[in-house]
Amino acid sequence: MKSKLQLKSVSKSFGTVVVIDNLSLDVATGELVCLIGASGSGKSTLLRCINLLEPIDGGEIWLDDFDIAEPSLDPDPIRRRIGLVFQSFNLFPHLNVMANITLAPRRVLGTGVAEAQAHAMELLERFGLADKAKAYPDHLSGGQQQRVAIVRTLAMQPELLLLDEITSALDPELVGEVLDVVRALKDSQMTMLLATHEMAFAREVADRVCFLDEGRLVESGLPSEVFTAPREKRTREFLARVLS
Amino acid sequence: MPKAPGWLAVKNSFFNWDILVKTFPKLLSAFIVDLKIFLWSAPLIFVLSLCIALARNTRRPALFPLRLFGALYTDVLRSVPVILLVYLIGFGVPGLGLPRPYNSPYIWGTVALVLVYSAYVAEVIRAGIESVHSSQSSAARSLGLSQSDTMRYVVLPQAFRTQIPALMNFVIALLKDVALLSFIGPIEILRQANVYKSLMANFTPYVGAAIIFLCVTIPITRYADYLLARQRNERTT
Ligand SMILES: Nc1ncnc2c1ncn2[C@@H]1O[C@H](COP(=O)(O)OP(=O)(O)OP(=O)(O)O)[C@@H](O)[C@H]1O
Ligand SMILES: [Mg+2]
């Protein structure tokens, strides 16, 4: 299968701290890859780099047939092709759900109001949020906010979706509804790179699991391999810690 | 109070009903001048302070001079008493001998107010911008919004919302400080009261002017408090 995303020896440091260390990774079109690893292992930073929110210090990031990390490129047209959903939702508190979702299509893609709203409504209906279109983020539960945040990203029709611990800020009883969204997206062949602490979920949905440790890709493979028979000592130690 | 020995004299020269009634209409019409100056300087202040706040906020190395200018501007103008600038610009610039409509202290006094207030309001706006968490811009940029759209549709609306109370305070302060222009020429309310005081050897016109200010500023203050309270409620619910 053709690669949607190819990371080639990507490195990123903050000051003298190396956060991503010579990391290479492929994500095929339609594939769901889960990133696992301890807190501080660089999962969020990696996703922010792929979305060009952080410049990388070395290596290449290929999206289809272009190295998008090329500094001379204008990042805005690239970002709109890659969706990023944050742990803390980051909805715009001064805009209602509908305006949150339609802002980017209208301003970035130049979609007309009616069309943008119709598309947003379709997405809201698909994820059971149609009655929340006029609500403000403050008045939604965490799970609803996160689902709106996903819808807001989907409204830009991204080719690649990056999900950064999208259930970590949620009460346990709200995690399920958000994970259901990811399952639905997987069924619709969305290409996704998902950082998560939900090992059971990663095991269930991932096509491939990648274990990150101190910015390095230590091990990657099928969930059945990585979770049941990890090859690397570090992976074993990490899994022993989080699964116990 | 009424028992104090000087009460009668004070009552006569500060709270003289007849003089109040006689001078009030003229004071009121002079206050229209204050309102006019206020109404055309407020939008100018808004625009100028927004530009300065944005200039101070740029992070692009190429725009560093703009940033420096913004910093200098706010530092210098906030360090000088308002009345001093009103004098310096209000008398100084017309002294250059400009042709007729442009040599009026009325214009240049207002310019002085606009310049000073822009410095203060720019700082309020800048504080507002900084209070918006960077994750908001990250979210906007990740959706593909440009830097200017992010500022315009995501950051600034939130920045202004948090700063409404502070901005309202400057609205009230500006309305009162328009009276400073009385020192350089325009027959606004304080000047008019001053004329009457000299004419009638009585201070009641000042009290009349104070009453007019109170009637306008107290409702605005109340409204500002109301906005503040509403904002607090919004945060907690
Ligand atoms: N803007 C920044 N400046 C300096 N250091 C940073 C910055 N962002 C992240 N780091 C550092 O980079 C390292 C990796 O952080 P990152 O957030 O990517 O980890 P993570 O795997 O997402 O962790 P978590 O599971 O807690 O979300 C950490 O040591 C963190 O302190
Ligand atoms: Mg993280």
Residues of chain A with Cβ-Cβ distance to B154 below 8 Å are: 92, 103
Percent of chain B scored above 90 by pLDDT?
39
Q: Which residues contact B105 (CB under 8 A, 6 or more apart)?
A: B90, B91, B94, B181, B184, B185, B186
A16 domain-assigned: no
A31 domain-assigned: no
- Tokens describing residue A10: 């990507």
Task: Compute the average pLDDT of residues A128-140.
Answer: 94
CA–CA distance, B237 with B221 (Å, rounded to integer):
24
Task: Compute the average pLDDT of residues B181-193.
Answer: 81
The class level of CATH for B7-236 reads: mainly alpha
Chain B touched by A84 (CB under 8 Å) = yes
Among the bound ligands, name the one nearest to the CA of residue A13: 1
A97 domain-assigned: yes
A114 domain-assigned: yes
pLDDT at B234: 66
CA–CA distance, B197 with B13 (Å, rounded to integer):
10
Chain B touched by A92 (CB under 8 Å) = yes
The mean pLDDT of chain B is 88
Strands A58-63 and A66-67: antiparallel
pLDDT at A67: 94
Q: What is the pLDDT of residues B27-77, one digit of tens each?
A: 888 898 889 999 999 999 999 999 999 999 888 888 889 899 999 999 999
pLDDT at B20: 86
> In this structure, which residue's CA is closest to atom 6 in ligand 1?
A14
| Pair B137, B155: CB distance under 8 Å | yes
- How many domains, in total, are found in chain A? 1
Q: Which residues pair with A164 in a beta bridge?
A: A195
CA–CA distance, A150 with A132 (Å, rounded to integer):
14
Contact B144 A48 (CB under 8 A): no
Chain B touched by A86 (CB under 8 Å) = yes
pLDDT at A33: 96
Containing structural domain, residue A118: 92-158
Chain A touched by B144 (CB under 8 Å) = yes
pLDDT, greater one: B203 or A216: A216
A146 domain-assigned: yes
> In this structure, which residue's CA is closest to atom 30 in ligand 1?
A40
pLDDT level of residue A54 (50, 70, 90 thresholds): very high
pTM tops 0.95, yes or no: no
3 state DSSP class of A163: strand
pLDDT, greater one: A222 or B96: A222
In this predicted structure, the answer to whether residue A69 has a pLDDT above a threshold of 60 is: yes
In this predicted structure, the answer to whether residue B235 has a pLDDT above a threshold of 60 is: no
pLDDT at B54: 93
A37 domain-assigned: no
In this predicted structure, the answer to whether residue B109 has a pLDDT above a threshold of 90 is: no
B121 CA distance to ligand 2 centroid (A)?
37
> In this structure, which residue's CA is closest to atom 2 in ligand 1?
A14
- Residue B49's identity, in one-letter code, is S
pLDDT at A127: 92
Supply angle C-alpha B55, B60, B64, rounded to 5: 60
CA–CA distance, B127 with B160 (Å, rounded to integer):
10
Q: In a mutational test of the pocket of ligand 1, which residue from A14, A47, A86 has the highest number of ligand atoms less than 8 Å from its CB?
A: A14
Burial (CB < 10 A; 0-12, 13-18, 19+), residue B49, is buried
A199 domain-assigned: no
CA–CA distance, B206 with B225 (Å, rounded to integer):
27
A150 domain-assigned: yes
CA B130 to chain centre: 23
**DSSP collapsed to 3 states, chain B:** CCCCCCHHHHHHHHCCHHHHHHHHHHHHHHHHHHHHHHHHHHHHHHHHHHHHHHHHHCCCHHHHHHHHHHHHHHHHHHCCCHHHHHHHHHHHCHHHCCCHHHHCHHHHHHHHHHHHHHHHHHHHHHHHHHHCCHHHHHHHHHCCCCHHHHHHHHHHHHHHHHHHHHHHHHHHHHHHHHHHHHHCCCCCHHHHHHHHHHHHCCCHHHHHHHHHHHHHHHHHHHHHHHHHHHHHHHHHC
